């Protein structure tokens, strides 16, 4: 028995010795780890340009290349200085299709946008303005119309634009220098329901788009204003496609069924409860007819039994006499 036990222990020890290297090799790091291929560096050439600090912690990155004049407004903080990184969060972008916007109390406008030498004009809340020329580029036909200002109530205002890219609306709210609230265009023509009010472009891809809004509740009417027409010689970059009118199925007004006169064989219903003065009740109802027939049959049956009993009694008397 001891021999068998020793043999088993030796076998287990040998098996453990054989497994240890294998398990160690499974968890040990390879001597030479393969070098991972380096990720390609991000190409920011599309967004690089001439950065200028315009105040309120904002930098305008000025470009004027194949895409046309652009001013990318980026938030860099109040301590930014030339040479620091400017590829940070974008606040807004000005170009030929959207040359005007507001940010952090600053009024931003890309002037002379169709010319070869556009200029960015930044106006502070106190009315002071500074100009920042963009790099020289190529002039183009200005197919932009706007801005067309529109007050929509509830401390909100709108600016309407029209260009070869279609209609566009900028919404601003009062306070904070007219901070931008939202932007509507052909791809996003309406505010979500969570906005709390209605603002939308009706027929955004059509020949005659319309801006609609309703900022007050209750029975306040919906405001409407049409976008301006395209300038002569300008064409949209998309095919006109008018929205289909929304048609709701009309439900015919329900008409009461005509009241038919009572005819023979119909059951008249006796109204329950007090009867209005002047109401005419039927002289005899079906229920009355049934009850009368039942009573009549019962009386006849009782009379028959009575006559039969009287006859039996009379016969017995006669038999007794005889």
What's the pLDDT tens digit per position in 30-43? Answer: 344 444 445 455 67
Q: Which residues pair with 172 in a beta bridge?
A: 157, 180
Residue for token pair 């500074």? 130
Neighbours of 283 (CB within 10 A): 7
Distant-in-sequence, close-in-space partners of 279: CB < 8 Å, separation ≥ 6: 271
Q: What is the pLDDT of residue 157?
A: 92
Q: Is the pLDDT of residue 248 over 80?
A: no
The yes-or-no verdict on residue 181 having pLDDT over 50 is yes
pLDDT at 251 over 60: no
Q: What is the pTM of this model?
A: 0.51
Average pLDDT of the chain? Answer: 74
d(CA 47, CA 32): 40
Note the pLDDT of residue 98: 87
The rounded percent of the chain whose pLDDT value lies above 70 is 61
The pairing of beta strand 180-184 with beta strand 198-202: unpaired
Name the DSSP class of 84. S
Whether residue 250 has pLDDT greater than 60 = no
More confident: 272 or 122:
122
Split at pLDDT 50, 70, 90, the class of 63 is very high
- Average pLDDT in the 190-206 region? 94
Query: Per-residue pLDDT tens for 210-238?
Result: 999 999 876 778 999 999 988 887 888 89
**Residue 65 β-bridge partners:** 68
Higher confidence at residue 297 or residue 80?
A: 80
pLDDT of 32 reads 40
- Least confidently predicted of 4-18, 94-108, 120-134, 176-190: 4-18
Cα dihedral 128, 108, 193, 150 sign? positive
Q: Does a cis peptide bond (omega within 30 degrees of 0) precede residue 225? A: no
Tell me: pLDDT of 13 over 80: no
Residue 289 pLDDT exceeds 90: no
Cα separation, 122 vs 110, whole angstroms: 9
pLDDT at 167 over 70: yes
Mean pLDDT of 277-294: 43
Q: Which helix (H) or strand (E) holds 212?
A: strand 210-214
Say whether pLDDT at 116 is over 80: yes
**C-alpha–C-alpha distance, residues 133 and 260, integer Å:** 88
Of residues 190 and 322, the one with the higher pLDDT is 190
CA dihedral 126, 115, 75, 43 (to 10 degrees): -170
Query: What confidence score (pLDDT) does residue 14 get?
Result: 44
Q: How confident is the model at residue 78 (pLDDT cuts 50, 70, 90)?
A: very high
pLDDT at 315: 54
Task: pLDDT band for 148, please (50, 70, 90 cuts).
Answer: very high
Residue 175 confidence (pLDDT): 66
SS (H, E, C) 6-62: HHHHHHHHHHHHHHHHHHHHHHCCCCCCCCCCCCCCCCCCCCCCEEEEEECCEEEEE
In the numeric block, the tokens 């303005």 are attached to 129
Q: Is the pLDDT of residue 202 over 80?
A: yes
Cα separation values, 214 from 90, 104, 190, 198, Å:
30, 26, 12, 5
Residue 311 confidence (pLDDT): 52
Statement: residue 193 has pLDDT above 80 = yes
Does residue 163 contact residue 155 with C-beta atoms inside 8 Å?
no
Alpha-carbon 316 to chain mean position: 103
Q: Give the Cα separation of 200 and 177 in Å (integer).
A: 24
Rg, Å, the chain Cα set = 48
The predicted-structure confidence for 82-109, as pLDDT tens digits, reads as follows: 999 999 999 999 998 889 999 999 999 9
**What does the pLDDT read at residue 86?**
95
């Amino acid at each position: 028995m001891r021999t068998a036990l020793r043999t088993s222990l030796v076998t287990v020890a040998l098996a453990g010795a054989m497994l240890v290297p294998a398990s160690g090799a499974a968890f040990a790091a390879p001597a030479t780890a393969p070098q991972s291929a380096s990720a390609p560096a991000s190409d920011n050439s599309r967004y690089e340009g001439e950065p200028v600090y315009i105040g309120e912690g904002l930098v305008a990155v000025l470009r004027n290349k194949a895409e046309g004049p652009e001013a990318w407004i980026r938030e860099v903080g109040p301590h930014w200085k030339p040479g620091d990184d400017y590829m940070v969060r974008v606040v807004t972008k000005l170009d030929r299709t959207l040359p005007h916007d507001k940010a952090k109390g600053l009024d931003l406008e890309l002037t002379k946008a169709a010319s070869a030498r556009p200029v960015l004009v930044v106006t502070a809340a106190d009315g002071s303005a500074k100009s920042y020329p963009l790099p020289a580029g190529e002039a183009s036909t200005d197919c932009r119309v706007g801005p067309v200002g529109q007050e929509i109530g509830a401390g909100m205002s709108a600016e309407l634009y029209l260009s070869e890219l279609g209609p566009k609306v900028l919404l601003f709210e009062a306070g904070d220098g007219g901070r931008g609230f939202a932007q509507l265009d052909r791809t996003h023509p309406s505010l979500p329901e969570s906005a709390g009010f209605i603002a939308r472009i009706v027929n955004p891809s059509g020949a005659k788009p319309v801006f609609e809004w309703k900022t007050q509740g209750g029975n306040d009417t919906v405001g409407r204003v049409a976008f301006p027409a395209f300038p002569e010689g300008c064409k949209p970059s998309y095919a006109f496609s008018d929205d289909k009118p929304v048609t709701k199925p009309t439900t015919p007004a329900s008409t009461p069924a005509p009241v038919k006169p009572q005819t023979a064989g119909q059951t008249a219903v006796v109204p329950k409860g007090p009867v209005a003065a002047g109401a005419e009740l039927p002289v005899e109802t079906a229920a009355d007819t049934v009850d009368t027939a039942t009573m009549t049959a019962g009386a006849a049956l009782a009379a028959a039994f009575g006559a039969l009993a009287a006859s039996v009694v009379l016969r017995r008397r006669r038999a007794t006499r005889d």
